[in-house]
Chain A
């Protein structure tokens, strides 16, 4: 007999988690499963899945703070990534998208038989699903995530001072330190267009963090502009093509 499937239950509503526990018990007679943990929000879900002790995550789509779609994107960075099965009571948009991208989902109230089917089918979310999840994301994510030594670090987007593309990574700078994430700068610019402004071909800075602009050669009153960011010694050069940003933002 194979090792039981380790399942993590993620839902912000306590009764929904309790119902899922009951269902897993019912399924248990046919399929060896064990509840590896429960979480009421995305952050706790990531912490719980981090140790690699989770095979399948039953993930509620609609949760306060970080929604299920975003949690799934961060979960994908775990090694090995757990399989994700979304659960939702009713969300016309999400259901249409799930169908379109052949993403596993269960409708609440969930039947034991349907749950069992989904668990049997559950496969680690492959790379093909990354695109699907990005399409599903309706609002910008609340956090970026970086992997370091097998741990997933969540970087709240409001802490980010600037994003700079270098080769195949993007450097994410917060006040205390910096992270490397595997993302595309163009995509980040689209997703967070209200939060960041492009000052250079390879750099987006947080609008809220801009403290001012100064000339590289302060004495002459000429030369290219650079951005002064809150709490940061480093100056970010503004490229010739983005000079108009200085006029728009320096009031």
Chain B
């Protein structure tokens, strides 16, 4: 499942036309071009805005229509080879321009503008935007690689690693079977942290990782660690950035459970509402608790990767209550493609 998504993400940098951030960028750039064009058309700055308004009457309908069409066929386009997708988008834009040209003449009796000139402008603007998104995609892929590296470093605290190995060692003589299971969990966690974490992964897989991690911590902390899962309303096929959950769990144990000698509860609530996936994680928190450093790094890392995958459509917020700490994550509900 994850393979196919990775494959798509790497062939060319066709943007996701349903993403709010992408839409915003297109709107701003096209209107910027219209503003510049208006400045070039007029003789004095005085007539600039009037000229822009006149241009806008032609530009905006085409712009909005284009965005609607692209949003509708976007996922189909992304499945095409990049070159073919580019040609298709160009064809769509030119066709829309011609259609709008004749429609406006027929419906509103607008004085016909020179159609060839408009086609040229539309083609150039579309080309410019596609080059921009291609460059942006390229600029972000090293960022993704970098983020992956950071994820590797930020994750699995040495503190956790050495304490876990120590706990496993204590089991080897008396309870070899539990020691085996614990080592398998540890291997699973390391495999995940060393894997290519640039892609999105099914949330069920992330939760399996969390369970492996929590099993290991349970070994050390025993009765002190209680975990409540609320995943009844979780769509198991939802895709999330790899390693988006386990580091949060590690934070919760490190800051919420370890500093207290009393048992504590970590609660995880995952659900989808309409087209958005929500993750809410709560852990006990005492302001005077001993542990401090390291928390921000994992959060910053997850936030960055959410942004790389979903742009402004995802968010991660934290809230400190009287005796609880809460992390909320929301992102578009992207379904895994059935393999």
Interface residues of A (CB under 8 A from B): 12-16, 18-19, 22, 41, 62-65, 67, 89-91, 107-110, 138-139
Q: How far, in Å, is A134 (CB) from chain B's closest CB?
A: 17
Q: Is A15's CB under 8 angstroms from B162's CB?
A: no
Q: For B162, B166, B171, B258, which residue has the most chain A Cβ atoms within 10 angstroms?
A: B166
Q: Is B159's CB under 8 angstroms from A15's CB?
A: no
Q: For A12, A15, A91, which residue has the most chain B Cβ atoms within 10 angstroms?
A: A15
* Closest CB pairs A-B (n = 8): A19-B170, A89-B162, A15-B170, A15-B167, A64-B261, A90-B158, A89-B163, A108-B166
Q: Is B169's CB under 8 angstroms from A65's CB?
A: no
> Can you list 30 pairs linking A and B with CB atoms under 8 Å apart?
A13-B163, A13-B220, A15-B166, A15-B170, A15-B171, A15-B220, A16-B167, A16-B170, A16-B220, A18-B170, A18-B174, A19-B167, A22-B173, A62-B159, A62-B258, A64-B259, A64-B260, A64-B261, A65-B260, A65-B261, A67-B290, A90-B159, A90-B161, A91-B159, A108-B163, A109-B162, A109-B165, A109-B169, A138-B290, A139-B290
Interface of chain A: mostly helix, strand, loop or mixed: loop
**Distance A176 CA – B261 CA, assembled complex (angstroms):** 27
Contact bitstring B150-166, A, C-beta under 8 A = 1, else 0:
00000001110111011
Q: Is B219's CB under 8 angstroms from A15's CB?
A: yes
Chain B residues near A91 (CB, 8 Å)? Answer: 159
Residue of A nearest to B174 (CB): A18
**Distance A67 CA – B260 CA, assembled complex (angstroms):** 11
**Distance A139 CA – B163 CA, assembled complex (angstroms):** 23
- Asked if B176 lies at the interface with its beta carbon under 8 angstroms from chain A, I say no
- Asked if B188 lies at the interface with its beta carbon under 8 angstroms from chain A, I say no
- Asked if B222 lies at the interface with its beta carbon under 8 angstroms from chain A, I say yes
Chain B residues near A64 (CB, 8 Å)? Answer: 258-261, 290
Chain B residues near A63 (CB, 8 Å)? Answer: 261
How many A-B contacts are there with CB distance less than 8 Å? 62
- Asked if B39 lies at the interface with its beta carbon under 8 angstroms from chain A, I say no
**Distance A123 CA – B158 CA, assembled complex (angstroms):** 30
**Distance A138 CA – B259 CA, assembled complex (angstroms):** 14
Residue of A nearest to B257 (CB): A64
Chain A residues near B173 (CB, 8 Å)? Answer: 22
- Asked if B221 lies at the interface with its beta carbon under 8 angstroms from chain A, I say yes
Residue of B nearest to A67 (CB): B290
Q: Is A12's CB under 8 angstroms from B166's CB?
A: no
Chain B residues near A108 (CB, 8 Å)? Answer: 162-163, 166
Q: How far, in Å, is A14 (CB) from chain B's closest CB?
A: 6
**Distance A152 CA – B110 CA, assembled complex (angstroms):** 96
Q: Is A19's CB under 8 angstroms from B261's CB?
A: no
Q: Is A19's CB under 8 angstroms from B260's CB?
A: no
Q: For A65, A67, A109, which residue has the most chain B Cβ atoms within 10 angstroms?
A: A109
Q: How far, in Å, is A27 (CB) from chain B's closest CB?
A: 15
Q: Is A12's CB under 8 angstroms from B261's CB?
A: yes
Q: Is A109's CB under 8 angstroms from B290's CB?
A: no
Q: Is A16's CB under 8 angstroms from B261's CB?
A: no
Chain A residues near B167 (CB, 8 Å)? Answer: 13, 15-16, 19
Q: How far, in Å, is B153 (CB) from chain A's closest CB?
A: 14
Q: B162 is contacted by which of A12, A65, A90, A139 (Cβ under 8 Å)?
A: A90
Residue of A nearest to B219 (CB): A15
**Distance A63 CA – B224 CA, assembled complex (angstroms):** 13
Residue of B nearest to A92 (CB): B158
**Further 8 A-B residue pairs, CB within 8 A, beyond A64-B290, A91-B159:** A15-B170, A15-B171, A16-B167, A22-B173, A65-B261, A107-B162, A109-B166, A139-B290
Q: How far, in Å, is B164 (CB) from chain A's closest CB?
A: 9
